[in-house]
Amino acid sequence: MEASSRRSGDRTVLEPLMEINPAEIAGVSPATPLSVRSVALSSVSHPILVFIGTGGGKLLLLSLDPSSKSIELLRSVSVSNRPIDSIEILMEIDRILVLSDGFLFLIDRLLLQPVRKLGFIKDVTAATRRVGFGDSLNLDFSGDGLLKADVSSAGQRLLKKLGGGIRANGVKQPRVSESQRGKESNCLIAVAALKRLVLIELLVTASSDVDSDYGGVSVLLKEIQGVEGVKTMTWIGDSIIVGSLDGYILFSASTGKCTPIFSLPESSGPPKSRTLLKSKEVLLLVDNVGVVVNDVGQPVGGSLVFQYVPESIAEMSSYVIVARDGKMELYRRKTGTCIQSLNFAKSGSGPCVVANDEQQSGEVVLVATSHKVTFLCKVSAEEQIKGLLRKKNFKEAICLLEEMESEDEITEEMLSFIHAQLGFLLLFDLHFEDAVNHFLLSKSMQPSELFPFIMRDPNRWSHLVPRNRYWGLHPPPVPLEDVVDDGLIAIQRGMFLRKAGVDTSADEDFLSNLPSKAELLESGITNIIRYLHVSRNKDLSPPIREGVDTLLMFLYRALNHVDDMEQLASSENSCVVEELESLLGDSGHLRTLAFLYASKGMSSKALSIWHILARNYSTGLWKDNPISAERDLPDVSVDPITGQKAAAIEASKLLEESADQDLVLEHLGWIADIDQDLAVMILTSEKRVNQLPLEEVLNAIDPKKVEIQQRYLQWLIEDQDSDDIHFHTLYALSLAKSAIEAIESTSGSTNFKADNERNVSDVVSGSENSIREKLQVFLQASDLYDPEEVLDLIGRSELWLEKAILCKKMGQETLVLQILALKLEDCEAAEQYCAEIGRDDAYMQLLDMYLDPQNGKAPMLNAAVRLLHNHGESLDPLQVLEKLSPDMPLQLASNTILRMLRARVHHHHQGQIVHQISKAMSLDAQLARIEERSRYVQINDESICDSCHARLGTKLFAMYPDDSIVCYKCYRRLGESTSARGRNFKQDPVFKQGWLVTR
Amino acid sequence: MAMPSNKIKNAKLVLLGDVGTGKSSLVLRFVKGQFIEFQESTIGAAFFSQTVSVNDESVKFEIWDTAGQERYHSLAPMYYRGAAAAIIVYDMTNPASFSRAKKWVQELQAQGNPNTIMALAGNKADMLEARKVTAEATKTYAQENGLFFMETSAKTALNVNDIFYEIAKRLLLQAQPAPNPSGMILMDRPADGTETRASSCCS
């Protein structure tokens, strides 16, 4: 703990209430001076009772009314003629214990009855009452006879003395029965006298008029011997802590065991101890150091270091008050910080004592020198903070607030209240960051309280702003700009005053380094944004939520935080569009506005903005955008192409979800101009519930944008499984058209070598193959288009394969074969087609074509030979021979005939092989059947029919292949094909291992 | 760290040593990571607490930084009584502080708890050129007396966290629970149950 933190400036925790001269009040003549030696305070009843013990053995009772600051003497009694050393209020038994002249005296609280002297004990040096933990300590006073025990190494002896009968000093102790004990109240005190420690239980019975010696108080005793030179003493729980010149020792009240706590260094002052009631701890003084120990003598927390050796110590809530020589100081118990110093009398005005009623709230403190008594009153925490805030001592106020918070001395509500008040003060002092930090700490503050700082009154939310003025320490809210202006004027005034030598409360930092208005505004806005941002996560009412979001947008705009604006606008928000529409439009934050429209479901407005933006980007108008001209904009806006694309992407996002046909068709055009993919995505979006009307979409698609149309149709046919003939035909035609164009363009480019001269905007260049493939696949796969129409289109083109497919669809076999065999010379495909037709005459037709291609083409003899080789068996040799041209060279003809004949022989041989294999299998099957039928079955007496369960005996029976046996009758009934086990051999044949049938 | 089985063990730790050896500076460095060139002399004792994590366990040190002044020597027993660990600090540029440290060790061995883990810290290790106490001599002494020894510097933070970490490790090692005899209890309990049942049956 650094020493610097031990001094915490001057706070006003205690403020003087009044001062009195006790002699004057007591009406004593100045000739016989009255000196104050001890004091005590009881605030149980109202007014407060003040006990003053004088040097002359007098006890004065005063009544103090702190609210009216009136004090009067109630009574005064003479206790002895020696000084009164201490006054202890025994609340439990409603008595006052006074120590004077080595004797203890008991008096009732109002000093109405005569003073009773506890005559059985003399030479008393210290007395203390026990502070319990809410438990009752069983000291066992009812022992029998005198018990002596050596209980500690130090040789201390514990003596238990029984109560009852008459004790050595003539104390009369009436036996108290257990039934009586229930009605009585008791109080434990420890008394140090000469060489012993006496523990006394004072009992007050219900009938207080008993003729006991002590005004209705009976006494029970217990002694611990061998304790010497006791100067100070405290008792908490079971522990009596005794301070002598040697040091501090802890005694256990129940066992008498003693443990040294620590010894005092040489030439140190007398020991002094004080019970800290609040924490049930004891403060032990060594020099100017207060060591706090708990009820077992273990140290707790760091030492309290006082500025001087205190003469008197008192405890007030979480503070320790020390006094000496006309001065008093207040220390915070936990941190050891000195909170307040106070001079209440001239230095050298004699010994002083400080006291309060620590058993109660203890908020009235009495501090006295010999001839003067000063009353002080605790300032409530709120008042303390208010005072500090009024002085603009924010640091100290925050410090105090933290202290109170850590000690739980403040309610949650008050804490929130103070944080808010602090925040407003800091806000008007232009410390925006700190202000918002405090606002955020306040749980009760409403975000609407900041609205007047953002938007000038009156506005949409004016009626929502709570009229909470807190302590009224700050001016009413005005727009932030005015706050900054006023603050700057105040700072300038402060500077001026400072130069003139006048002290001001203006901020040091600002005085030495005057911030600019722009800086301050930015800081203010940034921090309010921070606050509103956090507020968004709170549970707010809808109108306030609207205010928060709208004003947040306002502030983002003020700082031109485009990203934040767009983020807010595009996420879920409660912005009020009407408030922002013109604002954002005027300042050119069109993207934000579009997002905002979109998030509010105003798609058409959003879309028209995106359209405008896209157009502006493309025409370069974005350069004239007032915002981008002045300030930096994010990259999206700087690059026109990406900007345009971004607009299209955003628009397409909206359109993908929109089922509004007109809207979609309206905007499809410009989006398609920018990016066809996006347009297709819009049309084919699965996000909308109701699909757009197909015809109208198709009509709306720009006929030049073939790809879009094709992809839309493809989606309709492939993904949506449309089986509308019209769409299929349309798709086929469109693909065919593209394919034709592709062929033309490639042939064109190869012809003219003018590579990019032609604009191939609608046909992806180099995609001829892919388009044809697509077309072919579609023509093959779909049966729904009109082949004639397509054929019409491609009739004059070179798309031969496609033509073949179409002819195939139309069943024009000859045409197909002609195209395949003659035009494409694809023998394989032609043969394949013949196989598809499946008739022998198809092969013959093909052969005919090969041999006589017509149109002056030479016979395709190789193809013919190949055909004969592959399919010779299907051709009639006679027909083949007839087909052969008489001009055919013999070599080739013989080859052809040879192949054909060979093929036939080969075919014959193949047939023979198959025949023989089948015969072998048949034989195998027969063999297996015979084996199966010639099986032996053993039947005995117990064999029964599997069906009717009758004994077979000597009856005729049958066995099924699955080994089930039935009597003949059942066999006739079941038939051959179904066994007794229900197996139908026709449907579920049996195969057994060993049967040779393997196929 | 976030394991639910994470236990926190509280441990009282006391710093002892001659005046000006840097006890408060060591604590300040360990607890707040700060160093103050002209640290004021401690009066009475200062209290701090700091938690050290060793694997999945934590030790919360309750640190008593005692005053080195001879005048407050009598208070020391109160602070080292019941301490789980003690760091005895000397200034390696000052031989007198080393002899004082030895006296503290003696006192602790005589008066303190035999289980107290004692660490010897040779502080101000940043001032190597002014070294008066050799590390070798100290090491031998530490070994003979069963202390663990580190040369530390509160100024450069050398070994400061390490010494506390080492203590925490040793404390946890010391606290390793003895084999749990709960198995026996489990064995006993059913036996008891049958007995009572049997007796109630018979009576």
Using the predicted structure, report yes or no on whether residue A538 has a pLDDT greater than 70. Answer: yes
What percent of chain A shows pLDDT beyond 90? 18
Distance CA A422, CA A417 (A): 9
Least confident of A300-309, A613-622, A733-742, A743-752: A743-752
Testing the interface with B: which of A289, A304, A305, A335 to mutate, by most B Cβ within 10 A? A289
> Burial, A620: exposed, middle or buried (Cβ in 10 Å; 0-12, 13-18, 19+)?
exposed
Write the residue in A1, A2, A262 that is nearest to B75 by C-beta. A262
Judged by CB atoms closer than 8 Å, whether chains meet at A264 and B74 is answered as yes
The single-letter code of the amino acid at A654 is L
What are A117's strand-pairing partners?
Answer: A105
Confirm or reject contact between B95 and chain A (CB < 8 A): no
Judged by CB atoms closer than 8 Å, whether chains meet at A247 and B74 is answered as yes
Judged by CB atoms closer than 8 Å, whether chains meet at B46 and A287 is answered as no
A978 by DSSP, 3-state: which?
Answer: strand
Which of residues 289 through 318 in chain A touch B, CB cutoff 8 A? 289-291, 293, 297-299, 301-305
Alpha helices in B146-181 (DSSP H): 160-174
Testing the interface with B: which of A245, A249, A286, A331 to mutate, by most B Cβ within 10 A? A286
Q: Which of A248-257, A503-512, A895-904, A931-940 has the highest mean pLDDT?
A: A248-257
Confirm or reject contact between B78 and chain A (CB < 8 A): yes
B-chain residues within 8 Å CB-CB of A333? Answer: none
Judged by CB atoms closer than 8 Å, whether chains meet at B44 and A302 is answered as yes
| Mean pLDDT, rounded, of chain A | 79
A846 by DSSP, 3-state: which?
Answer: helix
Alpha-carbon distances of A896 from A164, A280, A707, rounded to whole Å: 150, 125, 51
pLDDT tens-digit readout, B42-79:
999 999 999 999 988 999 999 999 999 999 999 999 99
Residue of B nearest to A2 (CA): B40
Residue of A nearest to B65 (CA): A302
Residue of A nearest to B44 (CA): A303
Locate A254 and state its tokens.
């129940």
* Residue among A287, A370, A441, A383 nearest A56 (CA): A370
Judged by CB atoms closer than 8 Å, whether chains meet at A291 and B78 is answered as yes
> How many angstroms away from the CA of A6 is the closest CA of chain B?
12
Write the residue in B43, B71, B78 that is nearest to A265 by C-beta. B71
Alpha-carbon distances of A716 from A694, A726, A762, A925, A968, rounded to whole Å: 9, 12, 20, 58, 69
pLDDT higher at B181 or A204: A204
Confirm or reject contact between B79 and chain A (CB < 8 A): yes
pLDDT tens-digit readout, A310-337:
999 999 888 899 999 889 999 988 888 8
Judged by CB atoms closer than 8 Å, whether chains meet at A2 and B36 is answered as yes
If pLDDT is split at 50, 70 and 90, which confidence band does A138 have?
low
* pLDDT of amino acid A606: 82
Average pLDDT of the segment spanning A507-525: 85
pLDDT higher at A669 or A536: A536
For the entire predicted model, the pTM comes to: 0.62
Judged by CB atoms closer than 8 Å, whether chains meet at A2 and B40 is answered as yes
Residue of B nearest to A300 (CA): B47
> How many angstroms away from the CA of B111 is the closest CA of chain A?
13
B-chain residues within 8 Å CB-CB of A293? Answer: 78
Give the 3-state DSSP-derived string for A609-622, with helices as H, strands as E and coil as C.
HHHHHHHHHHHCHH
Confirm or reject contact between A287 and chain B (CB < 8 A): yes
Average pLDDT of the segment spanning B132-144: 92
pLDDT tens-digit readout, A751-791:
444 444 444 444 444 556 777 787 778 777 777 787 777 77
> How many angstroms away from the CA of A330 is the closest CA of chain B?
19
Residue of B nearest to A247 (CA): B74
If pLDDT is split at 50, 70 and 90, which confidence band does B197 have?
very low
Least confident of A35-44, A80-89, A169-178: A169-178
Distance CA A611, CA A881 (A): 76
Judged by CB atoms closer than 8 Å, whether chains meet at A303 and B45 is answered as yes
Using the predicted structure, report yes or no on whether residue A870 has a pLDDT greater than 90. Answer: no
If pLDDT is split at 50, 70 and 90, which confidence band does B6 have?
low
pLDDT tens-digit readout, B141-170:
999 999 999 999 999 999 999 999 999 999
What is the bridge-based pairing of β-strands B8-17 and B85-91? parallel
Average pLDDT of the segment spanning A88-102: 91
* pLDDT of amino acid A634: 44
pLDDT higher at B63 or A972: B63
Which DSSP category does B133 fall into? S
DSSP run (H or E) holding A714:
helix A706-714
Residue of A nearest to B75 (CA): A262
* pLDDT of amino acid A499: 83
* pLDDT of amino acid A974: 84
Distance between terminal CA atoms of chain A? 100
Distance CA A537, CA A443 (A): 13
Confirm or reject contact between B64 and chain A (CB < 8 A): yes
If pLDDT is split at 50, 70 and 90, which confidence band does A635 have?
very low
Using the predicted structure, report yes or no on whether residue B202 has a pLDDT greater than 50. Answer: no
If pLDDT is split at 50, 70 and 90, which confidence band does A619 have?
low
Distance CA A41, CA A109 (A): 11
> How many angstroms away from the CA of B77 is the closest CA of chain A?
7
* pLDDT of amino acid B25: 95
pLDDT higher at A681 or A307: A307
pLDDT higher at A704 or B195: A704
Q: How far is CA A624 from the centre of its chain?
A: 44
CB pairs under 8 A between A and B: 52
pLDDT tens-digit readout, A163-186:
332 233 334 344 444 444 455 678
Residue A787 CB partners (closer than 8 Å, separation 6+):
A779, A806, A807, A809, A810
Using the predicted structure, report yes or no on whether residue A916 has a pLDDT greater than 70. Answer: yes
User: Which residue is associated with the tokens 């291609």?
Assistant: A853
Report whether the peptide linkage leading into residue A479 is cis, meaning its omega lies within 30 degrees of zero.
no
What is the bridge-based pairing of β-strands A373-378 and A281-286? unpaired
Judged by CB atoms closer than 8 Å, whether chains meet at B46 and A304 is answered as no
Distance CA B134, CA B131 (A): 7
Confirm or reject contact between A2 and chain B (CB < 8 A): yes
Using the predicted structure, report yes or no on whether residue A233 has a pLDDT greater than 70. Answer: yes
pLDDT higher at A950 or A644: A950
If pLDDT is split at 50, 70 and 90, which confidence band does A107 have?
very high
* Residue among A102, A144, A155 nearest A127 (CA): A102
Residues present in chain A in total: 999
Confirm or reject contact between B74 and chain A (CB < 8 A): yes
Q: How far is CA A826 from the centre of its chain?
A: 71
What are B53's strand-pairing partners?
Answer: B58
pLDDT higher at A676 or A97: A97
Confirm or reject contact between B40 and chain A (CB < 8 A): yes
Write the residue in A2, A3, A262 that is nearest to B74 by C-beta. A262
Write the residue in A288, A290, A299 that is nearest to B64 by C-beta. A299
B-chain residues within 8 Å CB-CB of A260? Answer: 77
Judged by CB atoms closer than 8 Å, whether chains meet at B45 and A302 is answered as yes
Judged by CB atoms closer than 8 Å, whether chains meet at B44 and A262 is answered as no
pLDDT tens-digit readout, A670-700:
877 777 777 777 777 777 767 777 777 777 7
Residue of B nearest to A289 (CA): B44
> How many angstroms away from the CA of B84 is the closest CA of chain A?
14
> Burial, B130: exposed, middle or buried (Cβ in 10 Å; 0-12, 13-18, 19+)?
exposed
Average pLDDT of the segment spanning A195-205: 85
Using the predicted structure, report yes or no on whether residue A625 has a pLDDT greater than 60. Answer: no
Q: What is the ipTM of this complex?
A: 0.84
pLDDT tens-digit readout, A470-480:
888 888 888 99
Share in percent of chain A as helix, strand, coil (round to 5): 45, 20, 35
Which DSSP category does B68 fall into? -
What are A305's strand-pairing partners?
Answer: A289
Judged by CB atoms closer than 8 Å, whether chains meet at B77 and A262 is answered as yes
Judged by CB atoms closer than 8 Å, whether chains meet at B75 and A291 is answered as yes
* pLDDT of amino acid B66: 95
Average pLDDT of the segment spanning B106-118: 90
What are A48's strand-pairing partners?
Answer: A64
Which of residues 259 through 278 in chain A touch B, CB cutoff 8 A? 260-265
* pLDDT of amino acid A995: 65
> How many angstroms away from the CA of B37 is the closest CA of chain A?
12
Q: Which of A254-268, A312-326, A938-952, B17-31 has the highest mean pLDDT?
A: B17-31
Q: Count CB atoms within 10 A of the CB of residue A714.
A: 19
* Residue among A261, A267, A266, A268 nearest A284 (CA): A261
Q: Which long-range contacts (CB under 8 A, 24 or more apart) does A986-993 make?
A: A990/A961, A990/A962, A992/A928, A992/A932, A992/A961
Average pLDDT of the segment spanning A28-33: 73
Write the residue in A247, A260, A303 that is nearest to B44 by C-beta. A303
If pLDDT is split at 50, 70 and 90, which confidence band does A819 have?
confident
Q: Which long-range contacts (CB under 8 A, 24 or more apart) does A200-207 make?
A: A200/A118, A201/A139, A201/A141, A202/A90, A202/A93, A202/A95, A202/A106, A203/A93, A203/A176, A204/A93, A204/A94, A204/A95, A205/A176, A205/A180, A206/A180
What are B8's strand-pairing partners?
Answer: B58
Average pLDDT of the segment spanning A206-234: 73
